[in-house]
Amino acid sequence: MKNVFYYNTKIGRIAIEENGTTITKLYFLNEGMEEEIIEKNETLLLKEAIKQINEYLDGKRTSFDLPLASDGTEFQKKVWNALKEIPCGETRSYGEIAKIIGNEKASRAVGMANNKNPILIIVPCHRVIGANGKLVGYAGGIGVKEYLLNLEKKHVRS
């Protein structure tokens, strides 16, 4: 059974979905995007997820302790697992992630997998930057990506 609930946060409106035992999606509801017409059900797991996200956004948390499951190819899952290993306050390039997963020529494919990350923030695709150090692409917008990275750097320094 799929449960979803919508939340207003410091960085915009988000949707969190779970399947009864694990978080399966977290995404931004961008302007003009309609909320799905499904029954909304705020479960205990969703309440715990938003609690942890708000703690993170308040600078009180640097990692998440939530059960996660996402659909994707084996390659995508490898990339998403590598993203979870990037420490809070640090970044990696697409090429560095490609090397970490054992396929150094796959930086473009890493970018595509990063783009398909279904559990934003918790699986920190915002920590992946271009080889030149520039911020590139993010589902919540570059401004949100920059905000999250600055939040993390500030929190790690304190």
Task: Give the list of residues 6+ apart from residue 11 with CB closer than 8 angstroms, or none.
Answer: 57, 140, 144, 147, 148
How much is the pLDDT for 33? 55
CATH class in words for 74-157: mainly alpha
88 is catalytic: no
Q: Where exactly are the structural domains of the chain?
A: 3-57, 74-157
Q: Yes or no: say if 123 and 68 are a contact pair by the CB < 8 Å rule.
A: yes
Q: Yes or no: say if 6 and 35 are a contact pair by the CB < 8 Å rule.
A: yes
Q: Yes or no: say if 18 and 45 are a contact pair by the CB < 8 Å rule.
A: yes
Instruction: Kindly give the confidence (pLDDT) of every residue in the chain, 158 residues in length, as a single tens digit, with 9 standing for 90 and above.
Output: 789 999 999 999 999 999 999 999 999 986 555 555 555 778 999 999 999 999 999 999 999 999 999 999 999 999 999 999 999 999 999 999 999 999 989 999 999 999 999 999 999 999 999 888 888 877 777 888 899 999 998 876 65
Q: Count CA within 13 A, CB hemisphere, residue 38.
A: 12
Catalytic residue among 16, 119, 125, 129: 125
pTM reported for the whole predicted model: 0.89
Sheet holding 12-18, edge to edge: 3-9, 12-18, 23-28
